[in-house]
C-alpha cells in the first residue's frame, strides 16, 4: 500500500511528465486560461519566437482585465485596452483557441467563467497568467497563477516546470456567525496568519465550516489564498462539487460524467497524510471585517478600531502600519465604522457571483444609496448578469441608485480606465487594497458584498447588521 | 536569455515588507509603456510623493542610480502575477534582488528573465544595507553562491535551487529544453486520453 498522500500531492503526482530533479517536475497542464492582459503578451511572444500552440483544445480565452464595463460597451470602448482585446481575439482565433467574446454567454471574468462553464474540473491542473487562478481550487483543481513567460511555455508545450511546494492545511472549524460571509473568513485568516504565511505552500482548506459552505463561498475563500502568499488554495471535491458541475456546459455528460465522478471520489487527503504546516481557525471568532491599511492582512472587525503602534511587536510590520495609515488618511485607534466613503464597488473574481449579488441585493432592497456615494455593481459574467436581471436583482440595485454594469474586472484591477479619484475612500469587494490599486492615491477598504452594500446605503463604513 | 554569472555594484535598499507587484509597476503602465522603458515608472508610489515631488527614497539617490542589486524585505513581489514587475526592475538596471522572502510567482518570473532572486535572513540583509548605504559595493557570485562586500573578506553563502542556478548560468531557453522531451509529453497525453477521456471532451 502506498503512503498516505495529500490531495495536492495526488494531483501533482499524476501529472508528472518528467521528474526534473531537485524538487522540480515537468507537469501536464489540462486547462490553460488566457485573458486579454497576460494572454495577449504570451501569444505575442509565441509569434515572435515562431512557435505554434501545441494543444489548443485545452486552451480558452476571455476578455476581462482591460475592457470597459460601461453599459453598451464593446471590446473597443476602452481605448487603452483596444489593442489587447483585438490582439488576443485575432491570435486566439488563428491558433484555434476557443474564445468567449464580449456579450456572448460564457464571457466574463476568467475565474468566474472557469467554474461556471465547467471548464475547470476536479483533479485537473489549471493555469492562467493571473494570480487569482487559485480561485479554481475550490472545485478540487490544482490551479495556480503563472507569469506570461510561463504562459508562453504552456502554449508551446502544454506543460509547465514547477517546484513542488510544501503542503499546508487550514482547518476552518465551527459555525459561521450571522452576517458573516466567506470574505470575512478569508480576511480573518489573512489577519491571523499574515500576508506571507502561505509563501512556498499549497493550502488545502478543510474543516466543518468549509464543508458547510456552498460552492460560491468556497470560490471566494480559495480566491484569497494568494493574499496569504499561497499560489494554490484548494478544497477536496465532495457531493456539492459534483452536483454543481453536473449540468455545466463544458463538463462531461452522461456516462462520461459518471466515470469522471468515480475518479473525483478518490480526490481527498488520506488519513495519516502529513502536512508541513497545519493551522486551525475558529470560525466562531469571525466578525464582519474590513481592511484599514494597504495589505489585506491589515484588517479588523468593522466595529473595531485602527490598531495602535504598540500593537505591533515586529519593527517591519510597525513601519508598514505607519506608512499605511499615512496613505489611508487614518489615525491610530480611530473607529472604522462611521468613516465617510466616496465610492462602492461590488464585483471582481472574489465577489461577483450570483450569490454575492443576492446577499448585496438583500441589504439594498427598498433603500437608497447615500447621495454623496457613487456605487457600482459589476457582475462577474454574462451568465451572472442575465440571471441577476431575470431574478430582479438588477432592478433592486438600479432602483437604489447603483450603476448596473457589464461583466469584467473593472475597478478591482483598474487596468481599464475604471478608477476612483485621488483621495477617494472606496469600499470594495475585491481582493487587493495595495497603494494605488484602484487609481493613484485611492484608499481602498476591502469587505464583503453585505458590508459594501450597507456602506453604500449609509454613506460611511457600516456592517449590514448595523444598518 | 541573458546568462547570470555574477554582478558587482551598488545595492539599493528598499527594506519594506510586502512590497507588492502593483507597487513595483502600476498596471496601466504595462499596456502603454514599452518594456525597456518601464524603469522610469518602477516603484512610482515610493519615488514620487502625492504632491508630485521626489521623495527621500534610496531609489532616488544618485549613488544608487543603475544599481544592479536591490535589497528588500519580506514577501517582496507579492500579489499580482504581472511579469511586468520583473521587466520594470530590469529596466532600472537591476540584475539581482536579495530579500528575506518573495512572492512565489514573482520569484519564478525572475528566473525567466535572467534576474537572480536570493533568499537571505533579514539580519544579514540589514547588515548589507548598512554597508552599501555607506558606499560599499556588493558582489553576488552565482557560480560560487556567495555575496561579498568590497571591504569584507568573508563572503556570505546563499542557497539556490541547482536546477534554476544552472539554467541562469547557461542562459538556457526553457521552452527548447522542454521540447527536447516532446515524445514524453505526447506519450503522457495519449495515455491520459484513455484514462481520463472526460478531460479531453472539451465541447
The pLDDT tens digits for B18-42 are 999 999 999 989 988 999 999 999 9
Question: DSSP E strands: which ranges in A310-455?
Answer: 343-346, 374-377, 403-404, 425-428, 443-446
Q: Report the range of poorest mean pLDDT among A196-210, A365-379, B140-154.
A: B140-154
- Interface check A261 vs B, CB under 8 A: no
CA distance B91 to B64: 14
- pLDDT, residue A180, reads 96
* A195, A228 Cβ separation under 8 angstroms: yes
* A32, A151 Cβ separation under 8 angstroms: yes
- pLDDT, residue A396, reads 98
DSSP type of residue A340: B
CA distance A151 to A17: 17
Which of A28, A250, A434 is facing B79, going by the closest CB pair? A434
Q: How confident is the model at residue A317 (pLDDT cuts 50, 70, 90)?
A: confident
Average pLDDT, chain B: 95
pLDDT at B80 over 80: yes
- pLDDT, residue B31, reads 83
CA distance A307 to A310: 8
At A167, list the grid cell: 503542503
Q: How much is the ipTM here?
A: 0.96
CA angle (A385, A391, A392) in 5-degree steps: 90
CA angle (A240, A244, A248) in 5-degree steps: 160
Q: Identify all chain A residues contacting B104, using CB atoms and an 8 Å cutoff.
A: 165, 199-200, 229-231
The kind and range of the H/E element at A233 are strand A232-234
Which of A37, A256, A319 is facing B16, going by the closest CB pair? A319
Which of A28, A157, A260 is facing B198, going by the closest CB pair? A260
- pLDDT, residue B66, reads 95
Q: Which of B177, B103, B37, B197 is CA-nearest to residue A226?
A: B103
- pLDDT, residue A313, reads 87
- A386-444 pLDDT, tens digit per residue, is 999 999 999 999 999 999 999 999 999 999 999 999 999 999 999 999 999 999 999 99
At A299, list the grid cell: 484588517
Which residue intervals of A205-277 are DSSP H helices?
208-212, 215-223, 239-246, 254-264
Contact flag B16-A441 (C-beta cutoff 8 Å): no
Q: Which of A62, A134, A144, A60 is CA-nearest to residue A101?
A: A62
Residue A202, min C-alpha distance to chain B (Å): 11
Q: Output the CA–CA distances (angstroms, integers) from residue A311 to A288, A307, A308, A334, in the order listed.
A: 21, 6, 5, 14
pLDDT at A238 over 70: yes
Render chain B in DSSP notation, one character per residue. Answer: -----EEEE-EEEE--S--BHHHHS-HHHHHHS-GGGGGGGTTHHHHB-TTS-B---GGG-GGGTT-SEEEE-TTBTBS---THHHHHHHHTT--EEEES-B-HHHHHHHHHTT-EEEE--HHHHHHHHHHHHTT--EEEETTTTEEEETT-SSPEE----HHHHHHHHHT--HHHHHHTTHHHHHHHHHHHHHH-HHHH---
pLDDT at A81 over 80: yes
Averaged pLDDT for residues A128-141: 98
- Interface check A313 vs B, CB under 8 A: no
pLDDT at A1 over 70: no
Residue B56, min C-alpha distance to chain A (Å): 14
- pLDDT, residue B1, reads 80
- Interface check A231 vs B, CB under 8 A: yes
Which of A129-138, A315-324, B28-37, B152-161 holds the top average pLDDT?
A: A129-138
Which residue on chain B is closest to A226 by alpha carbon? B79
- pLDDT, residue A316, reads 81
- Interface check A29 vs B, CB under 8 A: no
Which residue on chain A is closest to B184 by alpha carbon? A17
3-class SS of residue A292: coil
At A165, list the grid cell: 511546494
Residue A104, min C-alpha distance to chain B (Å): 16
How much of chain B exceeds pLDDT 90, in percent?
Answer: 90
* A409, A348 Cβ separation under 8 angstroms: yes
* B139, B7 Cβ separation under 8 angstroms: yes
Q: In the beta sheet, which residues pair with residue A427? A: A344, A445
Q: Treating both helix axes as pointing N-terminal to C-terminal, what angle do A382-390 and A354-364 enclose, rounded to 10 degrees? A: 40
Q: Identify all chain B residues contacting A195, using CB atoms and an 8 Å cutoff.
A: 18, 75, 78
The kind and range of the H/E element at A144 are strand A142-145
- pLDDT, residue A269, reads 98
Q: In the beta sheet, which residues pair with residue A280? A: A171
CA angle (A38, A41, A47) in 5-degree steps: 145
Q: How confident is the model at residue A192 (pLDDT cuts 50, 70, 90)?
A: very high
Prediction pTM value: 0.97
- pLDDT, residue A314, reads 84
pLDDT at B153 over 80: no
pLDDT at B151 over 90: no
Contact flag B31-A80 (C-beta cutoff 8 Å): yes
- pLDDT, residue A387, reads 98
CA distance A10 to A21: 18
Amino acid at each position: 500500500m502506498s503512503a498516505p498522500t495529500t490531495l495536492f500531492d495526488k494531483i501533482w503526482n499524476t501529472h508528472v511528465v518528467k521528474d526534473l530533479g531537485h524538487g522540480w517536475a515537468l507537469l501536464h497542464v489540462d486547462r490553460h486560461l488566457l485573458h486579454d492582459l497576460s494572454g495577449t503578451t504570451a501569444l505575442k511572444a509565441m509569434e515572435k519566437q515562431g512557435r505554434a500552440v501545441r494543444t489548443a483544445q485545452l486552451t480558452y480565452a476571455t476578455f476581462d482585465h482591460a475592457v470597459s464595463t460601461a453599459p453598451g460597451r464593446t471590446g473597443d470602448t476602452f481605448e487603452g485596452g483596444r489593442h489587447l482585446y483585438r490582439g488576443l481575439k485575432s491570435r486566439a482565433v488563428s491558433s484555434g483557441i476557443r474564445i468567449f467574446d464580449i456579450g456572448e454567454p460564457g464571457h466574463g471574468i476568467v475565474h468566474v467563467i472557469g467554474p461556471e462553464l465547467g471548464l475547470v474540473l476536479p483533479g485537473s491542473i489549471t493555469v492562467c497568467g493571473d494570480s487569482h487562478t487559485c480561485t479554481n481550487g475550490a472545485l478540487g483543481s490544482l490551479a495556480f497563477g503563472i507569469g506570461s513567460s510561463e504562459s508562453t511555455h504552456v502554449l508551446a508545450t502544454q506543460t509547465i516546470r514547477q517546484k513542488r511546494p510544501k503542503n499546508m492545511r487550514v482547518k476552518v472549524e465551527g459555525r459561521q456567525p450571522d452576517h458573516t460571509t466567506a470574505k470575512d473568513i478569508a480576511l480573518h485568516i489573512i489577519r491571523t496568519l499574515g500576508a506571507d504565511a502561505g509563501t512556498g505552500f499549497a493550502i488545502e482548506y478543510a474543516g466543518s465550516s468549509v464543508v458547510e459552505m456552498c460552492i460560491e463561498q468556497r470560490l471566494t475563500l480559495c480566491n484569497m489564498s494568494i493574499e496569504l502568499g499561497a499560489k494554490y488554495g484548494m478544497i477536496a471535491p465532495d457531493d456539492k462539487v459534483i452536483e454543481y458541475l453536473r449540468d455545466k456546459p463544458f463538463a462531461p455528460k452522461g456516462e462520461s460524467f459518471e466515470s469522471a465522478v468515480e475518479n473525483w471520489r478518490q480526490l481527498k487527503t488520506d488519513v495519516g497524510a502529513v502536512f508541513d504546516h497545519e493551522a486551525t481557525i475558529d470560525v466562531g471568532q469571525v466578525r464582519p471585517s474590513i481592511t484599514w491599511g494597504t495589505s489585506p492582512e491589515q484588517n479588523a472587525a468593522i466595529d473595531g478600531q485602527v490598531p495602535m503602534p504598540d500593537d505591533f511587536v515586529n519593527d517591519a510590520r510597525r513601519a508598514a502600519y505607519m506608512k499605511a495609515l499615512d496613505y489611508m488618511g487614518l489615525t491610530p485607534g480611530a473607529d472604522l465604522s462611521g468613516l465617510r466613503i466616496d465610492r462602492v464597488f461590488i464585483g471582481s473574481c472574489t465577489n461577483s457571483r450570483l450569490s454575492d449579488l443576492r446577499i448585496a441585493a438583500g441589504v439594498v432592497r427598498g433603500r437608497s444609496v447615500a447621495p454623496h456615494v457613487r456605487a457600482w455593481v459589476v457582475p462577474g459574467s454574462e451568465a451572472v448578469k442575465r440571471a441577476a436581471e431575470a431574478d430582479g436583482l438588477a432592478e433592486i440595485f438600479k432602483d437604489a441608485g447603483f450603476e448596473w454594469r457589464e461583466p469584467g474586472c473593472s475597478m478591482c484591477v483598474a487596468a481599464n480606465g475604471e478608477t476612483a479619484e485621488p483621495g477617494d475612500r472606496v469600499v470594495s469587494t475585491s481582493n487587493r487594497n495595495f497603494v494605488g490599486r484602484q487609481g493613484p492615491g485611492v484608499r481602498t477598504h476591502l469587505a464583503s458584498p453585505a458590508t459594501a452594500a450597507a456602506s453604500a446605503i449609509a454613506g460611511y463604513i457600516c456592517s449590514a447588521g448595523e444598518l | 536569455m541573458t546568462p547570470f554569472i555574477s554582478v558587482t555594484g551598488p545595492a539599493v535598499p528598499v527594506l519594506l515588507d510586502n512590497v507588492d507587484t502593483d507597487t513595483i509597476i502600476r498596471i496601466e503602465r504595462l499596456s502603454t509603456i514599452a518594456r525597456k522603458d518601464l524603469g522610469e515608472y518602477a516603484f512610482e508610489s515610493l519615488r514620487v510623493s502625492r504632491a508630485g515631488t521626489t521623495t527621500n527614497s534610496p531609489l532616488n539617490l544618485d549613488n544608487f542610480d543603475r544599481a544592479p542589486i536591490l535589497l528588500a524585505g519580506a514577501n517582496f513581489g507579492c500579489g499580482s502575477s504581472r511579469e511586468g514587475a520583473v521587466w520594470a526592475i530590469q529596466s532600472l538596471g537591476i540584475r539581482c534582488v536579495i530579500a528575506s522572502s518573495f512572492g512565489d510567482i514573482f520569484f519564478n518570473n525572475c528566473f525567466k528573465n535572467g534576474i537572480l532572486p536570493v533568499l537571505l535572513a533579514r539580519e544579514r540583509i540589514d547588515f548589507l544595507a548598512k554597508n552599501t548605504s555607506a558606499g560599499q559595493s556588493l558582489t553576488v557570485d552565482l557560480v560560487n553562491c556567495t555575496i561579498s562586500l568590497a571591504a569584507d573578506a568573508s563572503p556570505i553563502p546563499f542557497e539556490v535551487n541547482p536546477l534554476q542556478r544552472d539554467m541562469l548560468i547557461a542562459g538556457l531557453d526553457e521552452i527548447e529544453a522542454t521540447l527536447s522531451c516532446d515524445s514524453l509529453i505526447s506519450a503522457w497525453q495519449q495515455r491520459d486520453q484513455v484514462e481520463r477521456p472526460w478531460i479531453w471532451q472539451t465541447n
